[in-house]
Amino acid sequence: MLRFLVRRTLGAVVILLFISAFTFFLFFAIPHDPALLSCGKNCTPDNLKTIHHNLGLDHPVPVQYYLFMVRIFTGHHFAAGNCPAPCFGYSFANSEPVWPTLIDRLPTTLSLALGSMVVFLLFGLGTGMLAAWRRGSAVDKVLSSASLVLSSMQIYFVGPLVLALLVYNNHILDQPKYVPLTQNPVHWFSGLIIPWCVLSILFTANYTRMARSTMIEQLQEEHVRTARAKGMSGAYVFFRYAWRGSLIPIVTILGIDLGSLLGGAMITEWTFQLTGLGRLAIDSVTKTDLPMLMGVMLFSSAMIVLFNILVDAVYAFIDPRIRLS
C-alpha cells in the first residue's frame, strides 16, 4: 500500500508539472500584454516598462516559468509585498497573493461540490437501482426516459428558470448566496440548496443511467445466480451481491466527477453569483491574470489527480482481488 502511494504520488507530480508548463506557455501564446491591464488610461511606454519589470514579464517565458515553479516552494519577496511558500505569485489584476485568495474561495466550492454530491448520489443511485430492480416495468421506463431528458438540461438554462420561479416571482426560497457553515448552518443550507439541486440535475441523470446499467450487468453475473440458488432473498442478493460489484464503476466515475467539481463548478458559480474557484478561474482568464490562473489550474488539476489516487486506493477496499495483488 505504501509503495502504491509513493509510486502514484510521484506520477501525480509529473502530471502536474506537465499541466503547469502547458498552461504557462499557452497563456503567452495569446497576443495580449497583461501589463496593459494595470497600466490604466495614462499609459506611457516608460510606465509599461516599469510594470513589465514589476510583474516579472521582462524575463523570457521559460525563465518566468522556472521562477514561478521555484517560488512555489521557496516563497518570494515581491514589490507588492511578501509571499511566503506556497507562493503562487501576486495577482496581476488586484495585487493580492494567489494562495490566500484560493484558500478564501475554497469553502464556497467545497460546500457546493460536497453538497451536490450528496444530492446526486442519493437521487442518482437511488433511482438507478430502483430502475434496475424493476427492470422493464413502467417505473423503469419512466425513470430511464426522465434521466435522458434531464441529462440534456443545461445549468445556464435551468438555473435562471429556477431562480425566476422559486426566488424572484414566488419567494419560496432564498436568493442563492454563500454563508459559511460555521457562521450560520441554516443560512448555509438555504443559500446553497438551489445551486446544489441545479448542479446535481445532470449528474443525477448520469448516475441514474450508470447505476441502472451496472446493476443490471451485475445481476446477470454467475455468482449472483449462485446466491439465488442458495435461497438468499431477492433483496439480499440485490444489495449484497450485485451492489458490491457495481461499486467499482460508480466509484471510478465519482472520483473523476468529485475531483473536477472541487476545481470549481464554473457555470453553476457563474449562474448563481457564487464566488468560488470556478468563478475565480473565469475572472482570471478574462483579466489575463496569469498567476491567479496558474493557481486555480494547478489546484483543480491537483484535485483531479488526488481523487484518482484515492479511487485506486478505494478499489482495494471494495475488491479483495485488488487488495492482495
- Candidate list 227, 254, 281, 305; residue touching another protein; CB under 8 A: 227
Instruction: Give the relative orientation of helices 2-29 and 61-74 as an angle to the nearest 10 degrees.
Output: 140
- Could you say whether residue 134 binds another protein (CB under 8 A)? no
Distance CA 227, CA 253 (A): 28
Residue 134 amino acid letter = R
Give min distance, CB of 237 to another protein, in A: 10
Distance CA 311, CA 252 (A): 6
Of 62 and 234, which CB lies nearer to another protein in the complex structure? 234
Q: For the chain, state the CA radius of gyration.
A: 24
- Could you say whether residue 245 binds another protein (CB under 8 A)? yes
* Residue/partner pairs of 95-101 with CB below 8 Å, 24 or more apart: 98/291, 98/292, 98/294, 98/295, 99/295, 101/280, 101/292, 101/295
Residue 68 amino acid letter = F
- Could you say whether residue 223 binds another protein (CB under 8 A)? yes
- Could you say whether residue 316 binds another protein (CB under 8 A)? no
Of 199 and 237, which CB lies nearer to another protein in the complex structure? 237
Closest CA to 72 of 85, 63, 82, 59: 85
- Candidate list 9, 82, 226, 273; residue touching another protein; CB under 8 A: 226
- Candidate list 9, 82, 154, 233; residue touching another protein; CB under 8 A: 233
Site string for another protein, 178-217 (x = CB under 8 A): ----------------------------------------
Only one of the segments 30-38, 60-68, 187-195, 232-240 lies at the binding site for another protein (rule: CB under 8 A); that segment is: 232-240
Of 81 and 234, which CB lies nearer to another protein in the complex structure? 234
- Could you say whether residue 136 binds another protein (CB under 8 A)? yes
16 burial (CB, 10 Å; 0-12 / 13-18 / 19+) is: middle
Grid coordinates given for 9: 504520488
Distance CA 115, CA 269 (A): 14
Helix (H/G/I), strand (E/B), else coil: 254: helix
- Could you say whether residue 222 binds another protein (CB under 8 A)? yes
Of 57 and 311, which CB lies nearer to another protein in the complex structure? 311
Distance CA 189, CA 178 (A): 9
Only one of the segments 36-44, 104-112, 218-226, 254-262 lies at the binding site for another protein (rule: CB under 8 A); that segment is: 218-226
- Candidate list 234, 239, 256, 273; residue touching another protein; CB under 8 A: 234
- Could you say whether residue 138 binds another protein (CB under 8 A)? no
Only one of the segments 111-119, 279-287, 301-309, 314-322 lies at the binding site for another protein (rule: CB under 8 A); that segment is: 314-322
| Count of residues that interact with another protein, criterion CB under 8 A | 24
Beta strand pairing call for 82-83 and 76-77:
antiparallel
- Could you say whether residue 318 binds another protein (CB under 8 A)? yes
Only one of the segments 56-64, 92-100, 106-114, 229-237 lies at the binding site for another protein (rule: CB under 8 A); that segment is: 229-237
- Candidate list 96, 174, 217, 319; residue touching another protein; CB under 8 A: 319
- Candidate list 42, 183, 230, 286; residue touching another protein; CB under 8 A: 230
97 burial (CB, 10 Å; 0-12 / 13-18 / 19+) is: buried
- Could you say whether residue 320 binds another protein (CB under 8 A)? yes
- Could you say whether residue 232 binds another protein (CB under 8 A)? yes
Grid coordinates given for 165: 420561479
Contacts of 234 (CB under 8 A, 6+ apart): 228
Residues engaged in binding another protein (CB under 8 A): 135-136, 221-234, 241, 244-245, 318-321, 324
